[in-house]
Structure 1
């Protein structure tokens, strides 16, 4: 029973930290990052996400893989322009404005917190 409690608590802690990190990263990039427009390019053969091409404030042109998969409710059509925020220290880190994963990250954090509580309860009963 103690091993089950330990694994449950550890798994919950990992999920909690993953959700918290995702929320913090999204908040940091959207608040302190540079906002610009990106051109959606076609999905490569065998890939599930399109690439986004944009110009940074210092004039560099970058292409990064979209953080939003093409299978989303509203896929990003090639040729469309979308608003993104990028980290000025590492422009490859982007957030697609309006398609942030806050709900998913909050779900991970909440599920992780629940698993930690369950794991601790199991440890106390053992």
Structure 2
């Protein structure tokens, strides 16, 4: 019983971490989208990428902040066939004025990974509770 309880506790802790990570990611994206500064960003190739090579899945985004700093950040979303991020394109982004490296690309939100973390973490917590209940019932 003691070993099962420890295993269930460790499993539940891991599941809760996944739920918290997913929730934090969704919250940050919503916050930056709602309160961040909107600017146009230029899509650029990463340094060292040849012109004839296929575009990297996450190119650089270059923009100027309100205090005239030029920022280059890796795109938080990958390029897709439906929404390519080609060299020279302009995209609308919002950035956090306190940390301009925190960027959201408008129209290309992908909350799927965060929601998967939340759902997976919740399933792991439920599994650990079930494991604990089975262990208690079999006593």
TM-score, normalisation: structure 1: 0.87
Structure 2, unaligned runs of 5 or more: 50-55
- The RMSD of aligned alpha carbons is 1.8
In 2, Cα distance between equivalents of 1:35 and 1:67: 15
Q: Does 1:109 align with 2:118?
A: yes
What residue is the counterpart of 1:91 in the other structure? 100
In 1, Cα distance between equivalents of 2:132 and 2:48: 49
1:20-74: CA deviation from partner (whole Å, max 9, x where unpaired): 010110011000101111000013347752111101122221111111234x343
Structure 1, unaligned runs of 5 or more: none
What residue is the counterpart of 2:67 in the other structure? 58
- Equivalent runs, 1:1-126 vs 2, <5 Å: 1-45=4-48, 48-70=57-79, 72-73=80-81, 74-126=83-135
- Give 1:112 deviation, angstroms: 0.9
Size of the aligned set, in residue pairs, is 125
Look up the SS of the partner of 1:39 in the other structure. strand
Work out which of the two has the higher radius of gyration on C-alpha atoms and give 1 or 2: 2
Report if the CA contact (8 A) 1:44-1:50 is conserved.
Answer: no
